[in-house]
Structure 1
Amino acid sequence: MLKVMKDEDFIVSKTDIRGRIIYCNKIFMDMADYTEEELLGKAHSIIRHSDMPKAVFRYLWEMIPKKQEVFAYVLNRGKNGNDYWVYANITATLDERGNIVDYYSVRRKPNSKALDVIIPLYKKMLEVEKSSGVDASFKVLTDILKEKGVSYDELIISLQNQ
């Protein structure tokens, strides 16, 4: 079953630098069908959906350790098998010396028009990934960005704002 976030919902979580959940709000727990006890200390990938291209997460994990903010569309899977799409914003939390302390993510309801573009793109990336690997899947994405003449962030933000 596909769950849909409410327009006013915000899913909030924090992870340590290894990606283990150290904070999650009630909306996160409700959407993911987990209790706080089941989530705290677990890898954020506990909600990773198998239909998400690994290349998207590769991009994310290349950018956030460089202290660069990332926006992405992500399909998650809850404990009970419920799927849900989010428009995610991930940032690094820095201490007073500029060192990364943890990662903070806020997710909201994605624009349905954006998903009309993202779902076929991710499906193509996943097909390529299964046959030729993550690098080839990432190339599908970068080729589209070159074709459109935009950066990854420009594409994702423009889709959300359409």
Structure 2
Amino acid sequence: MTTPGAPRAERRAVRPTGVERTFSPDELIVSKTDARGVITYANDVFLRVGAYSLDEVIGQPHNLIRHPDMPRAVFALLWETLAQRHELFAYIDNLAADGAHYWVLAHVTPSYGPDGSVVGYHSNRRRPSRAGIAAVKPLYDQLLTEERRHPTARAAVAASSELLRRLIAERAPSYEDFIWSIISEKGD
């Protein structure tokens, strides 16, 4: 573990290799962050599947594992939901340190301090079913296409977030209901 005050290693750029990694259905990937989304805890499954050492993740932003093919709109929805002090379930494709990717069904919740304030976030991720991934991937592909049409990150997130709201409204009353319908229907 890094000594407090010691310089952190520079964050390296990771290029996706197209290699998919998975983990056992009985394993959970667990991480905790502070209120800014900086990693304060990662379990051994997180480290093994993500191909990171503990020193490489503690103190880093959780988006360290963000895959470039994950729509930003999903993360905007995540942060919007957490800001309302609600939990969120989401299918996420993560990027490992070695360029491999791995799909998860994430359950992210706020963590509260003794005074009731949000002091961080806790995320448990389990392995999703192949059918669940197949159900969500076309939606994510549409969101990515929309994001890539816009010259700035802000415009991309706004446009894909609006598209996400419209597409979800066609399928379910909310994103949460949409995810639960996939979990129920596809057997996650």
Is 1:86 aligned with 2:104?
yes
Amino acid of the structure 2 residue aligned with 1:89: H
TM-aligned CA deviation for residue 4 of structure 1:
1.3
Return 125-134 or 21-30, whichever deviates more. 125-134
Number of equivalenced pairs? 162
Query: How far off is 1:102 after superposition?
Result: 1.0
Cα-to-partner distance string for 1:112-142 (whole Å, 9 max, x where unaligned):
1111121111111001011032222112211
- The gaps in structure 1 that reach 5 residues or longer are none
AA partner of residue 114 (structure 2): E
Quote the residue 1:141 is aligned against.
Answer: 164
Computing the radius of gyration from Cα coordinates, the structure with the larger value is: 2
Q: Which has the higher helix share?
A: 1
SS in 2 for 1:79: coil
Shift of 1:149: 3.5
For the aligned residues, what is the CA RMSD? 1.0
Show the counterpart of 1:104: 122
CA shift, 1:46, in A, is: 0.7
Aligned-residue offset at 1:30: 0.5
- Partners in 2 of 1:158 and 1:106 — Cα distance? 19
4+ long deviations beyond 4 Å: none
Cα displacement (A) at 1:96: 2.7
**Matching residue within 63, 71, 86 for 2:89:** 71
In the alignment, what sits opposite 2:22? 4
User: Corresponding residue for 2:56?
Assistant: 38
Amino acid across the alignment from 1:120: P
Shift of 1:156: 0.7
The 3-state SS of whatever aligns with 2:120 is: strand
Paired residue secondary structure (2:161) = helix
Is 1:58 the equivalent of 2:76? yes
The Cα shift of 1:18 comes to 0.7
Structure 2 counterpart of 1:48: 66
User: How far apart, in 2, do the equivalents of 1:24 and 1:143 lie?
Assistant: 35
Query: Could you say which residue in structure 1 is the equivalent of 2:145?
Result: 127
